[in-house]
Amino acid sequence: MPDASLGDPRNFVNRELSTLAFLERILEEASDQRVSLLERLRFLGILSTSLDEFFMIRVAGLKQQLSGHVEETGPDAMTPAEQLQAVSKRCHALVERQDRVLLEEMLPALQRAGVRFLSGPLSPESEAAAAAYFQREVLPVLTPLALDPAHPFPHLRNKSLNVAIRFAGKPGARLRYGVVPVPSLLPRLVNLPDGAVPLEDIIARHVAQLFPEMPVEGCWAFRVTRNWDLSIDEEEAEDLLVTIEREVRRRDRGGAVRLQINASPDEPVSRFLAAELNLGDGDVYWQRRPLALSEFFAGVAARPEIMQLHDEPFTPVVPSALGDGGSDLIAAVRERDVLLHHPYESFEPVVSFIETAADDPDVLAIKMTLYRTEPGSPIVRALQRAAENGKQVTALVELKARMDEEANILWARELERSGVHVVYGLIGFKTHCKLAMLVRREGTSLRRYVHLGTGNYNTNTARSYSDLSLFTSQDDFTADATSLFNLLTGYSKPDRWRKFLVSPLGLKQSILQLIEDEIRAGAEGRIVAKMNALADRDVVKALYRASNAGVQVDLLIRGICCLRPSVPGLSERIRVTSVVDRFLEHARVWYFHGRGEKKLYLASGDWMQRNFVRRVDVAFPIEAPELKERILSEILGTMVADTAKARVLRPDGTYERIQPAAGGAPVRSQEQFMALARRAAFSDASRSPTVEPLLAAAGKTEPRQKRRKA
């Protein structure tokens, strides 16, 4: 195919629709009867949270483009109006399926497990308990809002749960509606003698006490989602922290983008709320199940009668060679590079790396980036302690990490109060790379130790995200880490990078060159790349050229993929699979055969324009032969072979499950990784590939697995 034809819009999947395809795969896991009940509930909660963010950022952005008369299109050439129409249709179908799964499968299963949800009339005992709870715990914190000309429609907080009340009255009556915000600090589920009732139902049952002498016609729970993106001119900001703090407070005033309501479309309350929020019919989601599912399921999952319905617990292991993960880790890294595969191998050595350094009298300086971390972070506490111990501590805190801006502002202030030198990176760019460096005096010289990762310094997500960590003291790596920190803190751009590939300083060009090298190798070329998203037009076109040149390409992409694989004459040698399982696939790994050189990189970012142009991301090579072989055979090889939790992307942008060949046992990659970690728990000598390596025969097309429609 001529290069000019590769950019045809028909060769690209729309980004927003690809995102929704990923959410549909999450719903598939929630629908899978083979998955444990509480794991299925967790997937439904993840779907709800992901949809919230999709509306708050992506749908809000499309609406802004539409209102601003922006006609600019992406590689697929869909206009904002076309995208909004397609997104609305797909989202309504997705939400309807989600409701069916919850109401027809999950809630009955919970009932059978002993969790009883009450609706309709209550028994006298439960009625009395509900009334007492309302008087004691709920009524004192409620704020009933009447809506009339003297009381205009209130500003409702983003994602807040509310109860709408319609009052009976004559046509034209001045007071027809009221609103009661549901307190977010109270438990979402209320236990009564006969079962559990949602808090919003408790309020609805006693709403007459809030509006005495007003005949109530009906009550409906509803929820509003707002535009949540920040608009910051960093060039004009005198103090970035203060500016972002101010904008974070303001953004709760963003325009509404979605209304969810427990009412039917023909209820007048639906039309009333949509009109007050300036929303069209396509923005309203009439839902039959409880809203704000994440909060709802948090109450369900904690109930003792269903604790046995969780997945079998898995405890991450610490390789025996790392000992206590602190001083023993430093000793190990002094001798060789150390690779950890989280969450199968514990994140604790990463924490100990910083904690031990904070108290080590020979450590003179600590530098690290913080993109997302958790409340009470042990790493943040260790940085504070290190500064209090007199060490030079520098923390680059990314204030613009989406959805974590408020938390990162708090971290920045706490670190500054402890004496840590806090910086916010480069103006106009998000610092998305994950690295930490220690400077340690050893004898008469200084030695540097570096940690590089594909995931965040967050002990919570490290238990549920699949990521990779590399510890090294190699001079080329530590020199590049020093140069990168100097760039981030002092705008000191290095003449060259010894090992790192850094965006926006040439990372994309390096990837295109690596693909071009495989194109030159033709049928001997081989590319295997694992990432969260592929959306950059130039990289997609380069991969199409690679396929046409005879290069076998396997892409392991969890989420967004704008490339169309398996199209004759365009991408017939490209295979795209997505694994959705217990742990969120988050590691970025890139393999290029390189005429036998086997170039292997780990990275902090995806193949997206934002990562190449608007973020500081880092890719770094894995050079130790034993680590390279481990990643190729044990990790990539196993994931390419997954026939249990993998879906394959079809040319039309839909996904279908893969099934093993007739008579073959399914390969579940995450299960293999857990089993391998258990076997190798305290002896690296017991490590061996879990499946026959699929990457050894570069340039040979791997046998395709039979497929079944999901």
Encode 178-234 in three state secondary structure: EEEECCCCCCCEEEECCEEEEHHHHHHHCHHHCCCCCCEEEEEEEEEEECCCCCCCC
DSSP 615: E
What average pLDDT does range 19-30 have in this prediction? 96
Model confidence pLDDT, tens digit, residues 169-207: 766 666 788 999 999 999 988 989 998 899 999 999 999
Across the chain, mean pLDDT equals 89
> What integer pLDDT is reported at residue 213 of this predicted model?
80
What average pLDDT does range 687-701 have in this prediction? 44
DSSP codes joined into one string, 372-404: S--TT-HHHHHHHHHHHTT-EEEEEE-TT-TT-
DSSP 446: E
Token pair in block for residue 518: 């495989």
> What integer pLDDT is reported at residue 2 of this predicted model?
65
Element (H, E) at 116: none
Among candidate residues 585, 583, 581, the one with its CA nearest the CA of residue 555: 585
Q: Is the pLDDT reported for residue 235 higher than 60?
A: no
CATH of the domain spanning 501-686:
3.30.870.10
CATH topology of domain 320-490: Endonuclease; Chain A (3.30.870)
Token pair in block for residue 231: 């608009």
> What integer pLDDT is reported at residue 230 of this predicted model?
65
Q: Is the pLDDT reported for residue 494 higher than 80?
A: yes
Q: Which residue has the tokens 């407070």?
A: 249
> What integer pLDDT is reported at residue 308 of this predicted model?
67
What percentage of the chain exceeds 70 in pLDDT? 89
> What integer pLDDT is reported at residue 245 of this predicted model?
66
Q: Is the pLDDT reported for residue 258 higher than 60?
A: yes
Token pair in block for residue 380: 């943040």
> What integer pLDDT is reported at residue 238 of this predicted model?
52
**Cα-based torsion angle of the residue sequence 591, 614, 347, 308 in order, rounded to the nearest 10 degrees:** -100
Least confident of 234-248, 402-416, 439-453: 234-248
What percentage of the chain exceeds 90 in pLDDT? 66
Model confidence pLDDT, tens digit, residues 642-652: 999 999 999 99
pLDDT band at 66 (very low <50, low <70, confident <90, very high): confident
d(CA 326, CA 330): 6
Q: Is 432 a catalytic residue?
A: yes
Residues of the chain with CATH 3.30.1840.10: 118-230+256-307
Least confident of 61-70, 330-339, 387-396: 61-70
Token pair in block for residue 148: 């009339």
Side chain identity, residue 60 = A
Token pair in block for residue 566: 């398996």
453, β-bridge pairs: 434, 469
Q: Is the pLDDT reported for residue 251 higher than 70?
A: no
DSSP 523: G
> What integer pLDDT is reported at residue 700 of this predicted model?
41
Look at the alpha carbons of 168, 174, 177, 180 in this order and tell me if their dihedral is positive or negative.
negative
The CATH label, of 1.10.8.50, 1.20.58.310, 1.10.10.1590, 3.30.2010.10, for the domain at 3-109 is: 1.20.58.310
Helix count and strand count (H, E) for the chain: 22, 26
Annotated catalytic residue within 341, 432, 451, 586: 432
Q: Half-sphere exposure of 27 toward its Cβ, with a 13 Å CA cutoff? A: 22
Among candidate residues 252, 589, 244, the one with its CA nearest the CA of residue 430: 244
The CATH label, of 1.10.10.10, 3.30.420.40, 3.30.1840.10, 3.30.565.10, for the domain at 118-230+256-307 is: 3.30.1840.10
Token pair in block for residue 567: 């199209």
Residues of the chain with CATH 3.30.870.10: 320-490, 501-686
Model confidence pLDDT, tens digit, residues 537-562: 999 999 999 999 999 999 999 999 99
Task: Give the relative orientation of helices 378-388 and 348-359 as an angle to the nearest 10 degrees.
Answer: 10
Token pair in block for residue 17: 């629709």
Token pair in block for residue 595: 């005429």
Model confidence pLDDT, tens digit, residues 457-490: 999 999 999 999 999 999 999 999 999 999 999 8
d(CA 359, CA 356): 6
